[in-house]
Amino acid sequence: MKKFIIKSFAFFTVVIGVVSFILMNYGGNVDYFYEKFTTKKAHSIILGDSRSFQGIQPSIVDSYFENFPLQLPILNYSFTLKQTAYGPPYLESVKRKLNSETKNGLFIISVHPFLLANRSGKEEEKQGEFFEADMPPHNMRFVNNSPNFEYLLKNFDYFHFRGIIKKSSKTHKDGWLEETNLPDDKALLKTWKDNQITLYNGFQKKWLKSEIRLEYLEKLILYLKNHGHVVLVRLPIDKELIAIENEFWNTFNIDMRNMSNKNDIEYITFSEVENTFNTYDGIHIDKFGGVPFTKALCDSINVKLEIQKH
């Protein structure tokens, strides 16, 4: 019995050691979200779904505002539309990730109609039930540990260990997802875009505008305003998909401007002009288009907030 216990302990020690090595060295390759939970509390944060996850590059923001009176670096704490909507779970996760002593942070909140939608068409939200509660980041209590075994235990299904070999994508320590091996095949990319159009048409028919999601977006804004500058931004997507969003919620830009005016923050939208940034599927800006887009966003933030350099 004693030998069995010793061997079992040795085995589990080796397993934990191997897993820790993989997570610490390849965590960004094997899971899209893992790295976000291994860094210390942030002073500045980017929030949203996969549009901002891929489209807003923190290193560009940090470089642009290097000599400005902001508490940087900024962390991309965006996820994907499957896990993300503005509501109490996301607000609580942001509170865990934000350094509570922050006074002059920068908070970029990506918004679009489907991030503020009731997805079931039922009354769960009014009863305090939210579809995202059992998914990351909302199911995580410890969001600043490396290695993060809580994430491994709760979200093992999100790991794809083949990513160590394929390395077709990488989530950096600053939270930005880099797709490193996108195809050049125009026919394939058109198929991807067609799939997005089909998907979004489905959302448009089944989902509903949610007053509760709007309420919690405002609560998030008010919370973050206590810690610095807050900006709402609607990222550029291709015109076919903008048309679907506008059919779903045709007053969205007006509603966001009203909310921003009410709370004395800024709303920056790229939805009212032709998209000049590279998207590979109509929705997601690729890593090359993300550079000029993030710079353009920073230009707009600089003008809007009139931040003075040191």
Tens place of pLDDT per residue across the chain (310 aa): 555 455 444 434 444 444 545 555 555 556 889 999 999 999 999 999 999 999 999 999 999 999 999 999 999 999 999 999 999 999 999 999 999 999 999 999 999 999 999 998 777 788 888 999 999 999 999 999 988 989 888 987 876 655 455 566 889 999 999 998 888 899 999 999 999 999 999 999 999 999 999 999 999 999 999 999 999 999 999 999 999 999 999 999 999 999 999 999 999 999 988 888 989 999 999 999 999 999 999 999 999 877 655 4
The pairing of beta strand 177-179 with beta strand 169-171: antiparallel
What phi and psi values does residue 251 have, to the nearest 5 degrees?
Answer: -105, 20
| CA gap 280, 186 in Å, rounded | 9
The burial class, CB within 10 Å (0-12 / 13-18 / 19+), for 94 is buried
> Which alpha helices (H) appear in the chain, and where do they start and end?
2-30, 50-55, 58-64, 88-97, 149-154, 163-166, 186-206, 211-225, 239-248, 252-262, 290-305
| Structure confidence at residue 6 (pLDDT) | 53
Determine phi and psi for 31, rounding to 5 degrees: -155, 135
153: tokens are 């235990």
C-alpha span between 270 and 51 (Å, rounded): 13
Q: What is the pLDDT of residue 14?
A: 41
Domains of the chain: 41-144+167-305 (3.40.50.1110)
What is the rounded CA–CA span in Å between residue 41 and residue 144?
6
Q: Measured between alpha carbons, how far is 61 from 294 in angstroms, rounded to an integer? A: 7
pTM (whole model) above 0.75:
yes
- Residue 161 confidence (pLDDT): 54
Distances (CA, A) of 190 to 98, 196, 201, 275, 283: 39, 10, 16, 16, 12
Question: Given this model, what pLDDT does residue 17 score?
Answer: 46
